[in-house]
């Protein structure tokens, strides 16, 4: 019996092993690239989200500060305040210039105005000698820097006394911290002061408004917390924290006026390097931009805004966690279940092939599960799906498209005509495509959808009609998001024109851009020059220290040369250790000076490399050829040849030199 069943059992075991292993390998090799693309999509979406959150924060900051400053200007120009200051020249307020009833009315009006406007904590009216003549509310305290209601030595009075009408002075937040008791809380305040002038242009005094900085920054913080994972960042030029938030999800405990530069040095270093941009720090995405309340965008109705220069500009940013494979699978449970289901179906099919009809029941169950997953796939497909009745009203829409638009299913299905979601500029294309569908034809249109938040999403809609008993039931449309495709096209175009090692442009880009620059030079009658560069003895570096060291030399060389060029100059890598520089609006003499400066700088910069755990220092030299492009030349070919001849002459002449070749 053992011999009779041994061979069949062995074959069955082999078939089962193949039935399990082969489908697993095939499915894995198919799905892993798809997951990788999905991860890249999540990262791109994170960048777009960070940009949107930062824009919302910037708009909120601009709006709130402008409203605060306009409010201060409006109070400074109140006729009642001017009349009251005029009356201070009289010996008594009871004289006909200003009655006690008028003073009471003005005081009550200002008390009511401040108490019903939480943006400010107090208003103080100061005469030209620095004495306080009116305060609202009367219970507000001035602070330890002011004695006997004398403000003459304060920064806000001194600076405001120098200003012209409609100019403002703002004390820098976080500097010389000032706090006030507001209700039951102690809050930070920022002083805003502006001069008051009479109708004849005579300086009458200064009005001081203490801005409730907690109120303003709380509104900013809440506007940027659209995503609960997001952390808002607002710091001044010295790295002081300007938000009143006590803790953040990413940075931990931080208080108003604290040293953000010390608490988060890597974030602060990234924000100091540029005025705006993105940075990845500690598995988090930081997007930031520069804000300066003294600029035109913050002046609104003000003339000029003054403050201490050392505390500006500010840095406004948002921090979001970077997606990882673990978080991706935790958040996208449907994707995880889809992967598990795919593996299960593949293995089940292999087992069915191995043991034939013994697994029919299991396969029917797998088919039922698959039907459920197909429904989930419809809802969470990477493209949108919807169906419209003959009047264009939405009767079905998957979750993907609903998320794009920012609506729930209850708000859209059987409630909205899809045409209302199309921007007016592209509505004609949609109407024509839907008319084709009603005429039993396929329709397609490239349109822009309006989202609930007011944004736009560029899509391609492909639709056909579903009929029952030769009668139109509804349309079936697939909606493709074209945004990622266009971004990918731009990315591939940039990669095709860039050297992957050094990051500078390649020969193809040099030739195409040279044609444009040469045409511009002929049109404006401007000179244009070309420099070719070859690193001396580069082959010995590769032979003696390896290609990794050679790559490090090329990257260091590129960095050194790029720092010596103008923004409009074009540095390209045209060969292994060969480079070319196109210099628009540059004479041959000027190009020779640039080449000599490059030669000297390269010779003075050493490159440190590591070989067998030992640090070595290499000193480089370069040979350069220089030529000028002629007006009658249509391409770069002849100029490259002339420059290369000069380069070869520099090599033959002992290297580390510049040779100019102006001959035809």
Q: What is the dihedral of CA 478, 481, 486, 491, to 10 degrees?
A: -120
Instruction: Spell out where 557-605 has E strands.
Output: 570-573, 578-584
Q: Are 529 and 586 in contact (CB under 8 A)?
A: yes
Phi, psi dihedral angles at 118 (to 5 degrees): -65, -5
- The Cα 530–Cα 584 span in angstroms is 9
Residue in the block written with tokens 């498209």: 401
Q: Are 241 and 259 in contact (CB under 8 A)?
A: yes
Residues sharing a CB contact under 8 Å with residue 47, sequence separation 6 or more, in sequence order = 278, 285, 287
Residues sharing a CB contact under 8 Å with residue 583, sequence separation 6 or more, in sequence order = 528, 529, 530, 531, 569, 590, 591, 594
Residues sharing a CB contact under 8 Å with residue 127, sequence separation 6 or more, in sequence order = 85, 88, 133, 204, 205
- The Cα 208–Cα 76 span in angstroms is 9
Exactly one of 308, 577, 596, 615 is catalytic; name it: 577
Q: Are 613 and 600 in contact (CB under 8 A)?
A: no
Q: Are 646 and 660 in contact (CB under 8 A)?
A: yes
Phi, psi dihedral angles at 421 (to 5 degrees): -85, -10
The 3-state DSSP composition of the chain as helix, strand, coil percent (nearest 5) reads 45, 25, 30
Q: Is 577 a catalytic residue?
A: yes
Sign of CA dihedral 127, 130, 133, 136: positive
Q: Which residues are catalytic?
A: 577
């Amino acid at each position: 019996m053992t011999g009779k069943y041994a061979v069949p059992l062995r074959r069955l075991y082999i078939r089962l092993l193949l039935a399990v292993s082969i489908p697993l390998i095939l499915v894995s090799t198919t799905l892993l690239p798809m997951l990788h693309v999905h991860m890249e999509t999540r990262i791109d979406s994170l960048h777009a989200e960070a940009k949107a959150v930062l824009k919302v924060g910037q708009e909120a900051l601009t709006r709130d500060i402008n409203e605060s400053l306009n409010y201060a200007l409006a109070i400074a120009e109140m006729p009642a305040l001017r009349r009251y200051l005029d009356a201070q020249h009289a010996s008594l307020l009871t004289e006909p210039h200003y009655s006690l009833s008028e003073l009471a009315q003005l005081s009550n009006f200002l008390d009511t105005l401040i108490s019903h406007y939480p943006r400010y904590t107090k208003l103080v009216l100061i005469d030209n000698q620095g004495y306080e003549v009116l305060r609202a509310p009367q219970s507000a305290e001035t602070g330890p820097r002011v004695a006997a209601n004398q403000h003459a030595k304060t920064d806000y009075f001194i600076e405001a006394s120098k200003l012209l009408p409609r100019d403002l002075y703002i004390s820098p937040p976080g500097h010389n911290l000032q706090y006030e008791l507001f209700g039951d809380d102690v809050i930070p305040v920022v002083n805003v002061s502006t001069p008051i002038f009479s109708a004849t242009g005579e300086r009458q005094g200064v009005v001081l408004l203490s801005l409730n900085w907690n109120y303003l920054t709380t509104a900013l913080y809440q506007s940027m917390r659209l995503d609960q994972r997001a952390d808002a960042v607002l710091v001044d030029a010295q790295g002081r924290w300007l938000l009143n938030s006590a803790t953040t999800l990413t940075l931990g405990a931080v208080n108003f006026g604290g040293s953000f530069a010390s608490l988060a040095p890597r974030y602060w270093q990234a924000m100091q390097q540029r005025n705006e941009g993105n940075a990845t720090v500690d598995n988090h995405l930081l997007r930031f931009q520069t804000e300066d309340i003294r600029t035109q965008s913050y002046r609104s109705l003000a003339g000029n805004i003054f403050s201490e220069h050392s505390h500006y500009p500010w840095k406004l940013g948002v921090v979001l966690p970077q997606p990882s494979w673990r978080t991706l699978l935790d958040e996208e449970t449907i994707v995880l279940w889809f992967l598990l289901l795919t593996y299960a179906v593949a293995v089940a099919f292999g087992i069915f092939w191995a043991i034939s009809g013994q697994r029919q029941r299991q396969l029917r169950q797998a088919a039922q599960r698959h039907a459920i997953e197909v429904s989930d796939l419809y809802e969470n497909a990477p493209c949108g799906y919807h169906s419209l009745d003959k009047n264009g009203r939405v009767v079905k829409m998957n979750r993907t498209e609903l998320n794009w638009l920012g609506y729930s299913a209850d708000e859209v299905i059987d409630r909205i005509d899809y045409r209302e979601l199309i921007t007016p500029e592209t509505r004609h294309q949609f109407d024509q495509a839907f008319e084709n569908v009603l005429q039993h034809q396929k329709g397609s249109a490239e349109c822009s959808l309006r989202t609930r938040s007011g944004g736009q999403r560029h899509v391609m809609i492909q639709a056909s009609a579903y009929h029952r008993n030769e009668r139109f039931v509804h349309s079936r449309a697939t909606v493709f998001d074209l945004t990622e495709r266009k971004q990918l096209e731009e990315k591939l175009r940039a990669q095709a024109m860039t050297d992957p090692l050094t990051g500078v442009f390649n020969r193809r880009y040099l030739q195409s851009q040279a044609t444009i620059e040469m045409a511009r030079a002929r049109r404006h009658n401007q000179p244009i020059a070309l420099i070719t560069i070859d690193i001396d003895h580069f082959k010995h570096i590769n032979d003696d220290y390896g290609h990794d060291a050679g790559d490090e030399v090329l990257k260091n060389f590129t960095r050194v040369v790029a720092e010596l060029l103008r923004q409009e100059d074009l540095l390209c890598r045209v060969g292994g250790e060969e480079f070319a520089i196109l210099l628009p609006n540059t004479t041959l003499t000027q190009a020779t000076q640039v080449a000599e400066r490059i030669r000297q700088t390269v010779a003075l910069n050493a490159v440190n490399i590591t070989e067998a755990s030992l640090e070595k220092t290499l000193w480089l030299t370069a040979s350069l050829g220089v030529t000028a492009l002629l007006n009658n030349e249509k391409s770069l070919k002849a100029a490259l040849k002339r420059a290369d001849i000069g380069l070869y002459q520099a090599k033959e002449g002992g290297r580390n030199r510049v040779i100019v070749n102006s001959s035809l």
